């Protein structure tokens, strides 16, 4: 398959290109497009064959359900069997935007789209290009992040092509996305709302609107026999570059010292090491490869560049990556959730154990 690359500028929307993307989707094809969070790989979410093509292109396990993307509240009613008041309040405040809600599904939604579950994930994105394409397709668009399964999510069209060139019909390049982490997922299908995946819309923001919100234990802990994530996708190693990642936990000073020590050990073992650091700490390290993921004082900048930086290490062919940690801010929880998954939960608690060689 030859993948067609088209550029659509959100400020000067190319109507012909939008219509073409809509036609491909309506015809059962695959189109990758930008959203405000990450690039999505779209297909007609009500067509089981089109949804199945997404799993094939990404190499995604078939039990991992997809999110349906819509552009108006009217499009939600045919998909969700029950819409609780909390969901309406959340939609009022956070839609369109980076929030996904899980509802009990209707018959209309095929099990191929929901990974066999009786619930369905729905999101109304705010990115003008995403909205125009969904409207042109005229159907709810199932769209996981447009990466090969297990890889960091794409924040640029180039990342999509790295993983999916020749495997999808069309890639729409709408520039670099604004947020850089996938949407917050909240399950509103049960008695109490539960966050299944943290994101830009934080627990505090949700709680201030609807009161106490529970956090799925798998969000902070390593999924194991006792902690089974309710979002099936969260159980897989994810967001991972090719080199082994170790996350150093602790105060910035302790972390810096421990990473320097780890760099010395890596160097004497003949390993090419990379450091994932911040503008504040970059100058302290002497490392074969350094990648700065924004400023510690501006967690939004770290969220925006995290996946780009993880992918950049691959191009530098490092053997191991030592990463600083980002626990301090509300958004830090979402950043750490992704980083720990990328590391397969390989951490060093600075001050407790000695760093690995």
Binding mask 141-180 for Mg ion (x = CB under 5 A): ----x-----------------------------------
Q: Toward ligand TXA, which CB reaches closer, 195 or 256?
A: 195
Running DSSP on this structure, what letter comes out for residue 59?
Answer: T
CA separation, residue 104 to residues 20, 187, 252 (Å): 33, 10, 44
Say if CB 122 and CB 101 are below 8 A apart. yes
d(CA 1, CA 83): 40
Tell me which residue has its CB nearest to Mg ion. 145
Q: Toward Mg ion, which CB reaches closer, 86 or 153?
A: 153
| Element (DSSP H or E) covering residue 49 | helix 48-58
Contact partner at residue 156 from Mg ion, ligand TXA, none, CB < 5 to 8 Å by partner kind? none
Contact partner at residue 37 from Mg ion, ligand TXA, none, CB < 5 to 8 Å by partner kind? ligand TXA
Contact partner at residue 335 from ligand TXA, Mg ion, none, CB < 5 to 8 Å by partner kind? none
The alpha-carbon radius of gyration of the chain (Å, integer) is: 20
Write down the least CB distance from residue 279 to ligand TXA, Å.
26
Contacts of 233 (CB under 8 A, 6+ apart): 64, 65, 144
Running DSSP on this structure, what letter comes out for residue 333?
Answer: H
Write down the least CB distance from residue 105 to ligand TXA, Å.
8
CA separation, residue 274 to residues 27, 81, 233, 308, 345 (Å): 44, 49, 28, 14, 18
Write down the least CB distance from residue 152 to Mg ion, Å.
9
Q: Toward ligand TXA, which CB reaches closer, 151 or 296?
A: 151
Running DSSP on this structure, what letter comes out for residue 312?
Answer: H
Write down the least CB distance from residue 149 to Mg ion, Å.
8
Token pair for 68: 């349906």
Write down the least CB distance from residue 256 to ligand TXA, Å.
32
- Which residues contribute to the site for ligand TXA (CB under 6 A)? 35, 37-38, 40, 64-67, 100, 102, 114, 117, 119-121, 123, 143-145, 182-183, 185, 196, 230-234
Residue numbers of the site for Mg ion (CB under 5 A)?
Answer: 145
């Amino acid at each position: 398959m030859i993948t067609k690359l088209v550029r659509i500028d959100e400020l000067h929307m190319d109507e012909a290109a939008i219509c073409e993307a809509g036609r491909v989707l309506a015809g059962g094809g695959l189109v990758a497009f930008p959203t405000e969070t990450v690039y999505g790989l779209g297909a007609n979410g009500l067509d089981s064959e089109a949804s199945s093509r997404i799993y094939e292109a990404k190499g995604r396990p078939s039990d991992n359900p997809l999110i349906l993307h819509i552009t108006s509240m009217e499009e939600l009613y045919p998909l969700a069997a029950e819409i609780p008041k909390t969901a309406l309040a959340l939609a009022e405040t956070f839609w369109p935007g980076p929030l996904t809600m899980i509802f009990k599904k209707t018959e209309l939604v095929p099990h191929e789209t929901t990974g066999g579950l009786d619930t369905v994930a729905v999101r109304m994105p705010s990115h003008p290009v995403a909205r125009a394409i969904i409207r042109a397709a005229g159907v709810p668009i199932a769209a996981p992040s447009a990466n090969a399964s297990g890889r960091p999510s794409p924040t640029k069209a180039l990342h999509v092509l790295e993983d999916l060139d020749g495997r999808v019909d069309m890639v729409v390049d709408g520039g670099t996305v604004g947020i850089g982490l996938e949407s917050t997922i909240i399950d509103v299908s049960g008695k109490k709302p539960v966050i299944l995946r943290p994101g830009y819309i934080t627990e505090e923001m949700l709680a201030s609107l609807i009161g106490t919100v529970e956090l799925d234990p798998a969000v902070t802990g390593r999924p194991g026999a006792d902690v089974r994530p309710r979002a099936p996708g969260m159980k897989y190693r994810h967001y991972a570059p090719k080199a082994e990642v170790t996350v150093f936990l602790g105060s910035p000073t302790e972390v810096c010292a421990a990473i320097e020590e780890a760099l010395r050990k890596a160097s004497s073992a003949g390993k090419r090491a990379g450091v994932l650091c911040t503008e504040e700490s970059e100058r302290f390290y002497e490392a074969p490869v350094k990648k700065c993921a924004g400023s510690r004082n501006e967690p939004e900048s770290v969220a925006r560049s995290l996946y780009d930086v993880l992918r950049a290490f691959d191009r530098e062919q490092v053997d191991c990556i030592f990463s600083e940690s980002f626990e301090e801010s509300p958004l830090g929880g979402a950043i750490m959730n992704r980083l720990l998954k990328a590391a397969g939960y390989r951490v060093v608690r600075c001050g407790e154990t000695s760093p690995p060689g």
